[in-house]
Structure formats: structure tokens, C-alpha cells
Structure 1
């Protein structure tokens, strides 16, 4: 290992380049069915790209613990299949027209085919994971899938309503952070810590403690990621987002900055926000008016500060790990998450 200080996305990508390419090939091979529609939809979704953040976390988790076996490639493809399945289902539920600047799959193939393609991807992910012959891996993936489905159902029940910050935290954990957490935990399971490291040091943590530390990193990082995502939904441009601005409000979702403004705003402010949540459009109250309310009460800053606190929690969770380029990359990722513009 070099002593390179991880400071840019390119350096992290270079560190994981070969592994991510292997995961991409594996994902492509697994996402083939005898039914043409499934293969076409899976291929379209895979080509949509994205940051591949979740498999990257699994790779960093495993490699930071001196694991280099094929299991991390296989499970990297598994978590990306699970993530892709959630995206196609989310687009159907939200009636989304675009995803990452392209038409969403359901606009091309229809809701029925896309629901079934998403289901197929879930089952294919479990089928591939089964090749590891490890009950802990299956337990993590089953629990993850249940959490995400429950999170989606809970969110549907809350649409159009003003919710408490505690409810918001529960929702974003189930819908986003739990997949980050499980990605990190899977890396720890594969590594089977404690082991000796190439630098001659070993972790004093037990396998269970190590998995928990890595899981805590993933959970906190995922919470930060979703909070920032929700802030960008309110503040970024459509060109940057690749989808309509303020989609959450248009869908009746109250996110952290909005919840803060509801708690600290005047009755007139609260009524304006409630109107948008209930109408699910900006006909009676404009997007600019909502942004003005959020800025007046420091609600955007409040949400970003919470994200920064989660980023710091993530970094602190790694204190037990011996130094390596992979640990330094993990320490860098929270900064990338909170500073990104899309």
C-alpha cells in the first residue's frame, strides 16, 4: 500500500477501479434472464450508472480489513441489484418520469413489467448471495429487504402530512441508511475479523464488534447521504438533479428542512407548507415562497448541520481500524457525501 492521502473522488475510484469493473461485469452477467423484458429492463437500469456508492462501501469495508476474495465482487453485485430493484419500484410508486436525467424505466416498459423486473432482481440478488453459503449474509439481506419495504409503506402512510423529526429519521434509515449499513456489514462478514493485516497490525475488536463498528459507519453515512439528498431536492436545479426540483414536496413528503420550518415558523409559514404538502403542487404556494420560509428560519443550515454530525459519527466509528489507503478512503467518503451537489 502507498501512503497516498485520499483527497479526491478520482483517487478513490483509482483505488477501487479494477474491483468496480469486476462488479459491473458480474452484475451484467447476473442480470440476464430467459425472458427478454427482464434482461432489457435490467440492462437499461444498469446502464443508467450512478455513483456505485454502495458496492464501493462494501469493497472498502472488506479491503480495509485485509480481505481480497471473490466474495466482495459477488456481494458488490448483489447490493447493486438490490439497490436497482428499489429504484425501479420507487419510480413506479412515485409515478416518476425521469431517473438520473433519463426516462424512468416504467415510462418505457410500463408499471406491470417493471414491478416484476424489480421483483426478479430481488430474487436474483438472493440467489447469487446464496453462493456464499453464509447464513449471516442471508440474514442481513433478508432484514434489509424487510426494512426497505416497511419504510416504503410507512412513507406512503405519511404522504401529505406534517411529520415529526423522529418519524423522518425512521423513514430515511429504512429507505436509505440500512442499505449503506448492510453494505459495510457484509464487508466485515467476508473479512471475518480479527485477522493480521499487511502492515503488521491487527484489530483488537471481535468479529461481532467489528461488524457493529462498520455497520455504525454505514448507518451514519447513509443518514447524512439522505439528508443532503433531501436538501438538494429543495435547492438544486433540475439540470443538476436530472429530475424536477422539489419532487419530495410535490409527492407530499416532509423532509428535514421542511420539518424544521414547520416547528419554528409562524402560523402563516406553517399553513403555506401544509398547503403544498396537501396540494402536492406549487399552484397556490410557489417553490420560491417555500425556499424563502426555509431560509428565513435557517432550516437548510439546520439540516446540513445534522448531516455533518452524522458524517463525523461515521468517521469516529472507524477509529479501531489500522491505517491503510482503504481506511483513508472511508474517512474521505463522508466529506464527499455532504459536499456533493447532486
Structure 2
């Protein structure tokens, strides 16, 4: 594959196949508890699949910087455990009935057990991360967990309200992009532990030497920008895709009183009547007085979905630009491809 550009999801999967399988095994082993409910809930969530984007990013970040050790398998499982814990808590907070086309865990085991299982997953993620004996790794994971909790609380405070684009950006950074950022940074931290002592703290590429701290910053910027693009597209799909494709009810965000980027754009550019219609849905948290089709018509008149997607494309470009410090490799080419996948996906 080294003579070809990375162009498909299959090529990226083939590149990471063995490592992703190892992460799945690690995840499965790490989530076995003496309490049956924890093991059952964790296994159910793991079997739910998902794109495994976050551990894939960690693998690509580490490998693109020359890392080959086992830490990336452990930390790949860690970021997936953290992500899974957030999904459990999100479904409880949102009173969700489905997740990826299946009943959400809380509909089977109940909210109380799922809250505790989510807490256990967070703590287990930290326990596994401790095996790396790195304060920097723990610092990143602690900051990540705090940011995500803050994001949930901020979102709850703003339900039913029109928020600004800046407030929206702060929310989606905490809820989504920070985990993408930390996944990339963790790859850099692992790679930095294997730097040749003769390099005086620099990673070497064909073109130039880049300080380790700068490399971590650039990888973090890639992850942040990619995560912002990912969540904006996710929010657009929530408004425009079908329930069959999404695997959950459409327009869930509006039903929960959440104003996402396309909606914010329409609120800022619409007529008084259009703003009132959108606010009615946000306040009512249903489509009884104003229909989903009417909201889509308002968004269409103001090209609000196009506006949101253009912002996502800008973030995708910023992610690609952050990779200029990396030496050429299949792993870099895969990272360059991922933003295209993120903005082109349909679910």
C-alpha cells in the first residue's frame, strides 16, 4: 500500500486491522467485572460497534511518529472505554430509547445500573492508563473527563434556548472534539517516550526536526479540528438524514431543545416568524405545533445546512494542514484521508 494514496475506509482498516483487533480484545478483557451487570452492560455496548474512530486516531498518531510499542493498544482501549462511558451517560440524560439501531442500554438495565456502569468504565479507563506510568497521560485524561462533564452541564443549562455560535463551538469542543484531540495527543506522548536520546528532544523527519511539545500541539490541533468537523456533520445529519440511516429518531437534538449550528444560523438570519417557529420547537421539545418539515424549509430558505457544512469543511482543511510536520508514511496519508471521510459520511 505504500506506493498508493490512502483513498478508502477499507485501506485504512487494513492498515490498522491487527491493532484494532488487539484493542477489541483489550477492551473486552478490561471490562470484565466480578459484578455481572457491569460485564453484561459493557459487553452489550462493545458489541454495538461503532466506527472506532478515536482509537484509530490514537494508533495513526503514534505510528505516524514511529511508535511501535504496546502502549497504543492499552490506550486505544482506554479512549474507547471513556467514549463508551460518555454514551451510556448521554443516553440516560437524553432519555434515549435507541443507540445505533439497537435499544439503548438504559432501556434494558435501567438508569441506575447504567449510571454506575458508566462510572465504573471511567475508573477502569484510568486504572488501565496507569500502566503507562505517565503523569502526562493521566493529566490529559483528567482534563478530558472534566471537559466532557462541563460540556454536559452547560448543554443542560442551555436546553430550550437560542445560543450563539461561540457558545455552540464551546459545547461541541467539550462534548466531542476534546476526545479527538486527546486521542491524537496520547499518540504523541507515547511516541515521545521512544525518542533517541541523541536527538536532544526532537523527532526527526526527512525535512526538519520538530520539538516534541510542538508535535503534540500539532497533533492535538488535528484532533480538535477533526472533532469539530465530526460533530457539526453529526448535527446536520440529525436534522436531514432518515431514521433508517441514523439508527435513531431524526431531529433528536431539536426534540431535546438543543440548537445546533444550522439552526443557530437560521435563527440569526430568519424573519421574526421563522425565529418564532424555531423557538417554539426548542421550547416545546416536540413537533406538535411546528413540524419537522417546516423547520427544514426554514433552513433551506437560508441555506443554513450549507453554512454549517462549509464550517465543517473549513475545520477539515485545518486538520489536514496540522499534519505538515509529519514525515511521509502510510499513516500520515491515512490521517490526511480521515477528514474527507468525516465530512462525506451519511450516518
TM value normalised by structure 1: 0.98
Runs (4 or more) in structure 1 with deviation over 6 Å come to: 196-200
Matched, 1:313 2:318: yes
Task: Look up the match of 1:303.
Answer: 308
Q: Any residues of structure 2 matched to 1:134-213 within 5 Å, and which?
A: 134-192=134-192, 201=206, 204-213=209-218
Local SS of the residue matching 1:319: helix
Structure 1 contact 140–182 (Cα < 8 Å) conserved: yes
The answer for unaligned runs of 5 or more in structure 2 is none
Matched, 1:42 2:42: yes
Q: Any residues of structure 2 matched to 1:1-342 within 5 Å, and which?
A: 2-192=2-192, 201=206, 204-342=209-347
* Counterpart-to-counterpart distance in 2, 1:237 and 1:231: 12
Report Cα offsets for 1:114-136 as digits up to 9, x if no partner: 00000000000000000000000
- Give the CA deviation at 1:3: 1.9
* Counterpart-to-counterpart distance in 1, 2:191 and 2:3: 22
* Counterpart-to-counterpart distance in 2, 1:43 and 1:68: 28
* Counterpart-to-counterpart distance in 2, 1:4 and 1:35: 48
* Counterpart-to-counterpart distance in 2, 1:19 and 1:149: 30
Q: CA RMSD in A?
A: 1.5
Distance 1:200 1:268, change over 3 A: closer
Local SS of the residue matching 1:161: coil
Structure 2 contact 99–247 (Cα < 8 Å) conserved: yes
TM value normalised by structure 2: 0.97
* Counterpart-to-counterpart distance in 2, 1:76 and 1:207: 21
The answer for unaligned runs of 5 or more in structure 1 is none
* Counterpart-to-counterpart distance in 2, 1:130 and 1:185: 16
Local SS of the residue matching 1:205: strand
